[in-house]
């Protein structure tokens, strides 16, 4: 079973500050709370994962342990102790492990810096979100240098030399009393090497700023805030190091007829008071291009909803469709001809009060309240 990374669960970068993590947690916890999804087991599991991730990342000590050892830091009875679950029996084991790791790195060259992740905000129409689409997006980011093919130098025979600052380890140490602090080498940026003859186009980084166009497949059923990860399409790494990822965030355009509530489409449908009284039907343009006929029963009241099963949005990563809901709004005429007014007056003369039971009940309560 593949374990979810806590940062991926909350949708934040590993360098995110506490306020960003807190904001992401609040948004996701509200979205996936089981009470909002009628006890859905999948939503409940996601909600638990969100809380587990936040419980770790909100605590500086737990977060530091997780960054170093992953979830292994909290296994085998580790609890809140950042070293308890990492297999250490005593402080001497911790000391030996940390300093032994430093010693091993002295002669090992670390990989150059991985490219940064990128974000792209994509706006879709409701029809595109329903059917899915192939989106062409244009991004400007650091990409492999064409001149040196990502090597960072022009002379292939004598391209890189061992960094004199870190001795090829890619990291440097600074001792402060009893403790030793290790960080990436500022001279070689963690590669362990410096370029002897830097490329004039990229100044030795092996990458340059370019604009490129990508074709990305957007699945059917995406909604506002859906995040799509495109692996390896972020910024190129330094001197052929791995590239970062591209994250596409979906935003929905406002539709002329429908409002969206998950997989349900809602349309506000004004009808005449005669249609509401006598019954009838209305035809709505379906999101799939097929008309949807909604039958209106006689005596319907303003605000009542009529549901048409299976005429809503596609289910993301699933089968079937949601529903289409017509919310009826009974409209009172504002412009009447003399003949229409005469007919309505004749109708009013025939009213007994039983035609509108809610109004009869309401005014009956008023009479009772005033003792009439």
Dist CA 294 CA 111 (whole Å): 63
How many domains, in total, are found in the chain? 2
Residue 160 is assigned to a structural domain of this protein = no
What is the rounded average pLDDT of the residues 69-85? 55
pLDDT at 41: 76
Rounded Cα distance, 100 and 369, in Å: 87
Q: Is a pLDDT exceeding 50 seen at residue 370?
A: yes
Same domain, yes or no, for 310 and 361? Answer: no
Lowest mean pLDDT, pick from 61-70, 208-217, 249-258, 297-306: 61-70
Are residue 330 and residue 262 in the same domain, yes or no?
yes
Q: Are 288 and 130 in contact (CB under 8 A)?
A: yes
Residue 247 has pLDDT above 70, yes or no: yes
Evaluate whether residue 295 is within a structural domain.
Answer: yes
Question: From residue 76, how far is each of 71, 83, 90, 369 by CA, in Å?
Answer: 11, 11, 14, 71
Q: Are residues 265 and 317 in the same domain?
A: yes
Is 362 found in the same domain as 294?
A: no
My answer on whether 267 and 329 are in the same domain is yes
Give the CATH number, domain containing residue 298. Answer: 2.60.260.20
- Note whether 305 and 268 are same-domain residues: yes
* Residues 144, 31: Cα–Cα separation, whole Å: 39
Q: In this structure, are 304 and 370 located in the same domain?
A: no
Residue 350 domain-assigned?
Answer: yes
352 with 326, same domain: the answer is no
pLDDT score recorded for residue 267: 96
Residue 69 lies in a domain: no
Same domain, 346 and 328: no
Residue 260 CA: distances (Å) to CA of 224, 304, 346:
10, 18, 43
First to last CA, the chain: 74
CA dihedral sign, ordered 235, 236, 242, 246: positive
Same domain? 346 vs 330: no
Same domain for 369 and 345? yes
| pTM for this predicted structure | 0.60
Do residues 94 and 85 make contact, with C-beta atoms less than 8 angstroms apart?
no
| Residues in CB range of 307: below 8 A, 6 or more apart | 323, 324, 325, 326
**Together in a domain, 329 and 345:** no
pLDDT tens digits, 45-76: 888 889 888 988 988 888 888 887 777 667 65
Beta-carbon contacts of 17 under 8 Å, excluding residues fewer than 6 positions away, are none
Per the domain annotation, does 20 fall within a domain?
no
| pLDDT value at 90 more than 60 | no
Binding residues: 145, 148, 163, 166, 185, 188, 199, 202
pLDDT, tens digit, 9 for 90 and up, residues 152-185: 887 766 677 888 888 888 888 877 666 778 888 8
Domain containing residue 362 = 341-372
**Residue 339: per-residue pLDDT:** 95
Annotated binding-site residue numbers for Zn(2+): 145, 148, 163, 166, 185, 188, 199, 202
Residue 303 has pLDDT above 80, yes or no: yes
pLDDT of residue 328: 96
Q: What's the confidence (pLDDT) of residue 34?
A: 74
pLDDT bracket for residue 188 (50, 70, 90):
confident
Residue 329 lies in a domain: yes
How many residues are there in the chain? 372
In a domain, 98, yes or no: no
Residue 262 banded pLDDT, cuts 50, 70, 90 = very high
Instruction: Answer yes or no: is pLDDT of 100 > 60.
Output: no
Domain for residue 203, yes or no?
no
pLDDT of residue 312 exceeding 70, the answer is yes
Average pLDDT over residues 296-311: 95
């Amino acid at each position: 079973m593949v374990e979810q990374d806590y940062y991926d669960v909350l949708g934040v970068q590993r360098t995110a500050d506490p306020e960003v993590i807190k904001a992401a947690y609040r948004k996701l916890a509200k979205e996936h709370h089981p009470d909002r999804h009628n006890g859905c087991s999948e939503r409940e599991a996601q909600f638990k994962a969100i809380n587990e991730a936040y419980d770790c990342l909100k605590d500086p000590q737990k977060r530091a342990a997780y960054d170093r050892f992953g979830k292994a830091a909290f296994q085998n009875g580790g609890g809140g102790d950042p070293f308890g679950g990492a297999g250490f029996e005593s402080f001497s084991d911790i000391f030996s492990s940390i300093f032994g790791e430093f010693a091993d790195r002295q002669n090992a060259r670390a990989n150059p810096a991985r490219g940064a992740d990128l974000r792209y905000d994509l706006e879709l129409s409701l029809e595109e979100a329903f059917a899915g689409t192939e989106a062409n997006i244009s991004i400007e980011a650091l990409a492999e240098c064409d001149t040196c093919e990502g090597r960072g130098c022009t002379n292939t025979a004598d391209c890189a030399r061992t960094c004199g600052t870190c001795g090829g380890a890619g990291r440097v140490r600074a001792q402060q009393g009893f403790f030793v602090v290790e960080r990436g080498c500022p001279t070689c940026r963690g590669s362990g090497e410096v370029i002897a003859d830097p490329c004039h186009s990229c100044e030795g980084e092996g990458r340059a700023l370019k604009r490129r166009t990508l074709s990305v497949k957007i699945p059917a059923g995406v909604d506002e805030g859906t995040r799509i990860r495109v692996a390896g399409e972020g910024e190129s790494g330094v001197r052929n190091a791995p590239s970062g990822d591209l994250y596409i965030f979906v935003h929905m355009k406002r539709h002329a007829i429908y409002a969206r509530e998950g997989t349900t489409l809602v349309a506000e449908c004004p009808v005449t008071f005669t249609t509401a009284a006598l019954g009838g039907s209305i035809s709505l343009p379906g999101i799939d291009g097929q008309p949807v006929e909604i039958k209106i029963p006689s005596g319907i009241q303003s605000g009542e909803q009529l549901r048409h099963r299976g005429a809503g949005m596609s289910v993301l990563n699933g089968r079937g469709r949601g529903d289409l809901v017509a919310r009826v709004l009974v409209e009172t005429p504002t412009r009447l001809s003399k003949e229409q007014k005469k007919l309505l007056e004749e109708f009013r003369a025939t009213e007994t009060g039983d035609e509108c039971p809610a109004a009869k009940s309401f005014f009956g309560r008023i009479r009772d309240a005033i003792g009439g």
